[in-house]
Amino acid sequence: MKNLTTLKELDLEEITHLLDRAEAFKQGEKKSYANCVFANLFFEPSTRTQNSFIMAQKKLGIQDINLNPEASSIKKGETLYDTVKTFEAIGVSGVVIRASEVRYYEELVGKLNIPVLNGGDGAGDHPTQSLLDLMTIREEFGRLEGLKVLILGDIRFSRVAKTNIEVMRRLGMEVFICAPEPLKDPAYDYIDCNEAFAKVDVAMLLRVQHERHEHRMNMTQEEYLTSYGLNKTRYAEMQEHAIIMHPAPFNRGWEIDGDLVESPKSRIFKQMENGVYVRMAVIERALDHA
């Protein structure tokens, strides 16, 4: 059963193969899974992940069911496990799940006959986001190994940061991390943000996840942008070839100056475009090895 719960369980060959398949779909390769239905179970809000999974399903000829948790029996106390078993029983071919519990998938894996694709587990992992990030970087530079990446901002609450730091280091990329004190995860070493922008190939900004903070940071928007975000001064310091990435949604004026979201160095909307093809590759892997 080819679940995709975390990239840690994929070796580098499998990761490269997924990126190659995503690129093939982007170049126009067609594949069709008639009679397949996927259920998308999003218990946390999502615009990009849920809808690009839906788009990927449609491009692969797959029908989609999208659970509205507010109108489901979750509201009567039904568990995640019983909900997913219900979708398995009614005949879906796979499920995509986003939930706030870190490693929610552990209660599912091994107990289902359909694949589970992780659309994000709390502050744990976001495997398809990392794959689309890697695809975007590889498209830009033609390689991954040896590139210097700065990941900057809300490291503590970011599943994107955690997944990317692990997989990028495994791929031979040099990852620099910068965060304000309250948003640091003690698992990592940090550098001074001021030194970082001029030397990296990729600056990856992270959304300040206000909704996950018990208390708002003791910092104004302007202070945050100047100290821990990308403003126009830092943009000007970046190398000619360097690019900006952000998983989005972005807080314009917090981690990124609003004018820079669509600047020449920005690949933010390219990331979203690539998300569809990466999710096609992940669904293909799940269904072809079911």
Contact present, 67 and 39 (Cβ < 8 Å):
yes
Of 112 and 244, the one with the shorter C-beta distance to ligand CP is 244
**Site size toward ligand CP, by CB under 6 A:** 9
Of 112 and 117, the one with the shorter C-beta distance to ligand CP is 117
**Residue of 23, 26, 46, 66 interacting with ligand CP (CB under 6 A):** 46
Report d(CA 57, CA 219) in Å as an integer.
42
Report d(CA 184, CA 151) in Å as an integer.
12
What's the Cα-to-Cα distance from 79 to each of 41, 63, 107, rounded to whole Å?
13, 24, 10
Q: Based on the shown chain and the rule CB under 6 A, indicate whether residue 66 belongs to the binding site for ligand CP.
A: no
Contact present, 180 and 217 (Cβ < 8 Å):
yes
Report d(CA 239, CA 175) in Å as an integer.
17
Candidate ranges 47-55, 106-114, 150-158, 220-228; the one touching ligand CP (CB under 6 A): 47-55
Candidate ranges 16-24, 33-41, 44-52, 172-180; the one touching ligand CP (CB under 6 A): 44-52
CB neighbour burial string for 157-189, b if at least 16 within 10 angstroms, e if fewer: bbbbbbbbbbbbeebebebbbbbbeebbbeebe
CB of 76 to ligand CP, least distance (A): 26
DSSP H/E element including 279: helix 268-288
124: left (phi over 0), alpha (psi -120 to 50) or beta: alpha
Of 23 and 44, the one with the shorter C-beta distance to ligand CP is 44
Distance of CA 206 to the CA centre of its chain: 11
CB of 98 to ligand CP, least distance (A): 7
Q: Based on the shown chain and the rule CB under 6 A, indicate whether residue 48 belongs to the binding site for ligand CP.
A: yes
Of 112 and 256, the one with the shorter C-beta distance to ligand CP is 256
Binding positions for ligand CP, 146-205, rule CB under 6 A: none
CB of 52 to ligand CP, least distance (A): 8
Of 112 and 134, the one with the shorter C-beta distance to ligand CP is 134
Candidate ranges 22-30, 40-48, 143-151, 258-266; the one touching ligand CP (CB under 6 A): 40-48
φ, ψ for residue 38, nearest 5 deg: -110, 145
HSE, CB side, 13 Å, CA atoms: give it for residue 273. 10
CB of 129 to ligand CP, least distance (A): 5
Binding positions for ligand CP, 212-251, rule CB under 6 A: 247-249
Q: Based on the shown chain and the rule CB under 6 A, indicate whether residue 47 belongs to the binding site for ligand CP.
A: yes
Prior bond of 180 cis (ω within 30°): no
Of 64 and 88, the one with the shorter C-beta distance to ligand CP is 64
CB of 50 to ligand CP, least distance (A): 6
**Residue of 5, 40, 49, 83 interacting with ligand CP (CB under 6 A):** 49
Q: Based on the shown chain and the rule CB under 6 A, indicate whether residue 100 belongs to the binding site for ligand CP.
A: no
250: left (phi over 0), alpha (psi -120 to 50) or beta: beta
Report d(CA 5, CA 286) in Å as an integer.
11
Binding mask 122-141 vs ligand CP (x if CB under 6 A, - otherwise)?
A: -------x------------
Q: Which residues bind ligand CP (CB under 6 A)?
A: 46-49, 120, 129, 247-249
